[in-house]
Amino acid sequence: MNIIEIKNLKKDYFLGKTVVPALRGIDFAVEQGAFLSVIGPSGSGKTTLLNIIGCIDFATQGTVKIGDQEITSMNDRQITDIRLNKIGFIFQTFNLIPVLDVEENVEFPLLLMKKHSKGEVQKRARALIEAVGLSDFIKHKPAELSGGQRQRVAIARALVTKPDIVLADEPTANLDSVTGAQILELMKEMNEKESTTFIFSTHDHNVLKYAKKIIPLKDGMIEQAQ
C-alpha cells in the first residue's frame, strides 16, 4: 500500500522576476514501511521535496497524496492536522522550543494532540528520551545541551507521536558517528516494529547503508531509481 504518491511535482521559487525551478516534475510512490533515502548534490531539490511531503511547503504544480488524502488542496487547519498526526519532521537544524526542557519538548506534539493522558504522554516521552540516550538531561533546557544532544531531542520529538511518516533532513549531520549510528538503529527499529515510513536526505554514506531504497535527485529531477 502506498503511503505517499507524488505525481508531476513541480516547484518554482521566485527571486524578483527570475523563476528558479527547484523541482521539475517528479513522480514516485512510497510504500508504507519504506526506509528511503533521498540523495543528491546541493541544490538538487532534496530539502524542497521533503518540505513538500512534510506539508511545510507547497507545490507549484502536481499532486501529493499522503495516505488517501490529497494535501495540495487542503486548507491550513487540515494541513496542520496532517503534520501533527501523520508526519514527524527532523530538521537540519535543531529547532527546539527554548523555554521548554528536554522532556517538555518531546511531550509537546503529544500535548497538542490532546488524545493521551498525562501519564501516557510522560511515559512515551521518557521512553524515547531514554532511547536517544538523554535520560540524564531530561530537565535540561535546549541552551544547556550540545548540538548532538539537541538533534537527539528533535528526533525523539519526531518519533513520539508514532507518525506514519518520518521525514529527516540530514538527520545525522550534526552527530558524532556513534550517536548517529544509535539514532539510525532507533529509526530502523521503529521502521521494523511500527512499520513507520522513513524518508531522509543525506550525504552520509553510513546513513545510506541503512536505506532500503534510494531516490537520487539532480537538478530537480529523479536521476534514476535504485
**Minimum distance of other proteins from residue 85's CB (angstroms):** 7
Helix axis angle, 147-159 to 177-194, nearest 10°? 0
Q: What is the DSSP string of 136-165?
A: GGTT--GGGS-HHHHHHHHHHHHHTT--SE
The nearer residue to other proteins, 56 or 221, going by C-beta atoms, is 56
Instruction: Please report how close the Cβ of residue 98 comes to other proteins at its closest, in angstroms.
Output: 6
Q: How far apart are CA 64 and CA 197, in angstroms?
A: 16
Least gap, CB of 168 to other proteins (angstroms): 13
Q: What backbone torsions phi and psi does residue 76 show, to the nearest 5 degrees?
A: -60, -40
Tell me the sheet residues that pair with 11.
23
Q: Which is nearer to other proteins, 36 or 84 (CB)?
A: 84
| Shortest distance (Å) from residue 158 CB to other proteins | 8
Site residues, other proteins (CB under 8 A): 47, 51, 54, 56-57, 76-77, 80-81, 83-85, 89, 91-93, 95-100, 104, 108-109, 111-113, 157
Residue 119, Cβ density class (10 Å: 0-12 exposed, 13-18 middle, ≥19 buried): exposed
**What whole-number distance in Å separates Cα of residue 130 and Cα of residue 79?**
31
Least distance in Å: CB of 4 to other proteins?
A: 18
Cβ proximity to other proteins: between 27 and 144 the closer is 144
Find the helix or strand (DSSP H, E) in which 191 lies.
helix 177-194
Cβ neighbors of 127 (< 8 A, separation 6 or more) are none
Nearer of residues 80 and 195 to other proteins, judged by Cβ: 80
Closer of 168 and 210 to other proteins (Cβ): 168
